[in-house]
């Protein structure tokens, strides 16, 4: 594998010899990398904090690069016994989104893809404060994303907020390079047994491609009623109750939503209550009973990563005891060193049967 180093759009170095590389991509959040090399004075002159790293297999056209990483740290380790090493680490290009916070209170209502576009315009594309603008920042989305939301955001780190939202609603996001920073939203493809539009991808002992499994049913964090407290003080504080449950089957949680404001009546009473209810619903989704089904798979034989399935896709996992699950590919760790190449997907069960 060859790794290219770009400073802006200028190719500054080519790396085809290294001790090891770990390249991790994630569906809901930023990826990261670690590249270990033998120190080279000439190469060091060409490396800069903020430079892009692109693998040859991620170059789709002469200008379009996916799974781009940014150098954040450069470390030189000297070791008289084992030899010196140069270690580069950093995060995926999507990490630039975490360089902004939502500084002004922003009410968001409508289709999720439109809401996110609004935040990108206000914080990257055409912000009022032009020093916050990133030139050539563009937006793309998967038209299948039709979810609607109703919320209010103030002071949140934009990258962290997007990752939270992505995990809640099941969409992926990233930033790739095509002579511009292209932020895009996407949905993974369902390749489980629950559909017939595309071929199934099934990891099972029967196919000798599921090596180890771990099934858990967890209830310890479960809540079914949220008491949401908004603005105001004491007995006059606004409160709503979301959810239901009675007697011994009622599990309550307190949600402090003081950050949601009516702006002295600018937001109507009904709309303000709707915002509190939405916050309560959001809180309850974080405290559901969890059925987890994870497994170590062989992604180099029958079903090949980036040929038969991709990051964010939904596949089928089946174990020896008849437990089957639709599972989303949340993370892919690709590593290469003297011992060989490994591809390690990480799954999150979406429905256990």
The pLDDT tens digits for 99-149 are 999 988 888 889 999 999 999 999 999 999 999 999 999 999 988 888 888
Closest CA to 295 of 208, 214, 207: 214
Helix intervals (H) in 197-313: 269-285
Residue 350 has a pLDDT of 65
For 184, residues 6+ apart whose C-beta sits below 8 A from its C-beta are 139, 140, 141, 142, 173, 174, 175, 176
**How are beta strands 252-256 and 225-229 bridged, if at all?**
parallel
Residue 351 has a pLDDT of 55
Q: Are residues 294 and 307 in the same domain?
A: yes
Q: Are residues 214 and 306 in the same domain?
A: yes
**Beta-bridge mates of residue 110:** 149
Residue 66 falls inside a structural domain: yes
> Does the predicted model carry a pTM greater than 0.75?
yes
Q: Are residues 206 and 337 in the same domain?
A: yes
Element spanning 141, H or E: strand 137-141
Q: Are residues 294 and 271 in the same domain?
A: no
Q: Are residues 214 and 296 in the same domain?
A: yes
Residue 182 falls inside a structural domain: yes
d(CA 70, CA 88): 10
111: containing domain: 100-186
- Counting the structural domains of the chain, the total is 4
Name the phi and psi angles at 39, rounded to 5: -60, 140
Q: What confidence tier does 191 reach under pLDDT thresholds 50, 70, 90?
A: very high
Half-sphere exposure of residue 256: CA atoms within 13 angstroms, side-chain side:
1
Residue 82 falls inside a structural domain: yes
């Amino acid at each position: 594998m060859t790794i290219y180093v770009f400073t802006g759009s200028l190719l500054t170095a080519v790396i085809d010899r290294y001790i090891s590389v770990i390249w991790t991509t994630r569906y809901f959040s930023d990826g990261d990398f670690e590249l270990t090399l033998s120190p080279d004075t000439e190469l060091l002159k060409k490396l800069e904090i903020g430079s892009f790293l692109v693998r040859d297999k991620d170059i789709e056209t002469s200008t379009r690069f996916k799974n781009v990483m940014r150098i954040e740290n450069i470390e030189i380790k000297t070791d008289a016994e084992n030899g010196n090493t140069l270690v580069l680490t950093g995060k995926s290009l999507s990490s630039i989104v975490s360089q902004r916070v939502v500084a002004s209170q922003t009410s968001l209502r409508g289709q999720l893809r439109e809401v996110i576009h609004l935040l990108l315009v206000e914080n990257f594309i055409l912000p009022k404060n032009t020093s916050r603008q990133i030139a050539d920042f563009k937006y793309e989305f998967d038209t299948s994303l039709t979810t609607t939301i109703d919320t209010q955001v103030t002071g949140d780190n934009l990258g962290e907020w997007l990752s939270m939202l992505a995990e809640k609603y099941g969409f992926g996001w990233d930033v790739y390079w095509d002579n511009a920073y292209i932020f895009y939203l996407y949905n993974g493809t369902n390749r489980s047994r629950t559909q017939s539009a595309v071929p199934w991808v099934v990891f099972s002992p029967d196919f000798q491609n599921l090596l180890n499994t771990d099934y858990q049913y967890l209830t310890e964090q479960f809540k079914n009623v949220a008491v949401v407290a908004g603005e105001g003080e004491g007995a006059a504080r606004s409160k709503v109750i979301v959810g239901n449950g009675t007697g011994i089957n009622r599990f309550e949680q307190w949600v402090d939503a003081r950050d949601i404001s009516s702006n002295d009546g600018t937001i109507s009473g009904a709309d303000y209550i709707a915002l509190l209810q939405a916050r309560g619903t959001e809180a309850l989704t974080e405290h559901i009973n969890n059925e987890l089904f994870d497994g170590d798979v062989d992604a180099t034989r029958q079903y090949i990563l980036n040929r038969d399935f991709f990051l964010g896709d939904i596949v089928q996992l089946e174990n020896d005891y008849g437990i089957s699950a639709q599972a989303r590919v949340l993370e892919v760790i690709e590593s290469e060193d003297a011992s060989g190449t490994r591809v390690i997907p990480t799954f999150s069960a979406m429905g256990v049967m």
